[in-house]
Structure 1
Amino acid sequence: MTTDLAAPPRTLFLAGPFIQLLDPETGEMPPGAREPFDLLIKHFESQGVAVHNAHRREAWGAELMRPEQCTALDQEEIRKAELFVALPGSPASPGTHIEIGWASAFGKPIVLLLERGREYTFLVQGLHTVAEVEEVVYTDLAASLPAVDRAVQRVLARRRGTARPA
């Protein structure tokens, strides 16, 4: 990321579908389902950002936490994060939508990564009316990383009051 708009966040919470992506036979996320999360984690960490992510924390499903543990931990990590980034899921991921609600309620700047051609819930579509949101619509997530960086810069610049006039 360049620093002309905003420095990268120090911490972010990366959310997305989890339980619905687990292979019923292995109890783990298959490599294809892990790929977008792994890509984003590596991308942000290469910039020095501390990434909080339940998928990785729970070993991609191999070490699932109990609901009473992961719920409180996810909420606290979202509360402490400077930025919230989410792949909302299509079909909608119930857990991710709860996390989006927490991020919005905590006043976190949000970047939504929306796959082109997918349907998203009305509350995701209208989230920008109640929260500081940037959307990145993508076909190929890896090719869209520069757009993700620009979205992060814009949402953080607005939050920090350093955005340039349009």
Structure 2
Amino acid sequence: MSKQNIRELTILGLLTAILFLGQVFLAVLPNVEVVSLLIILYTLTCGRKVFLIIYAFVLLEGFCYGFGMWWFSYLYLWSILALAAYIFRENRSLLFWSILSGFFGLAFGALCTLPYLVVGGIGAALAYWTSGLLFDVTHCIGNFIVCLVLFRPLRHLLERLYTGCHTPL
């Protein structure tokens, strides 16, 4: 393994740890989180390697909080956001990224219903989704503001950290 690969693997591990710790430390604030912003930024910076970070993060979440129904939705939720960010990776508008992050927060509860739909049917999925609508609205607002404030400085920092060390996936 080359020094370049070791450096990149170390950075990917560090980014995963930052993602996980950001989620843990902000867990006390209802639906205010940096995970959505970091997934977007990691996608823009690391490209397809973001999926290595996402699945390591989801595994850490399972080990920390248990592998409940919510955990299955995390397996695809963050990938959906990463795919959206990857599709629009050429966009340079801060407002666009803030709206995407906010929309993802609003859609989060609806996207989480899949496991409940499979296990309990449409009634369980609708009950789960509607019971969390207020949290989805606060999630939307929180994501929008966090992205609006932190997107540019964190993107600049990540680009400086990651540039020159990555190899194609």
TM-score by length of 2: 0.30
Please state which structure has a larger fraction of its residues in strand: 1
TM-score by length of 1: 0.30
Please state which structure has a larger fraction of its residues in helix: 2
Greater relative contact order structure (CA < 8 Å, 6+ sep): 2
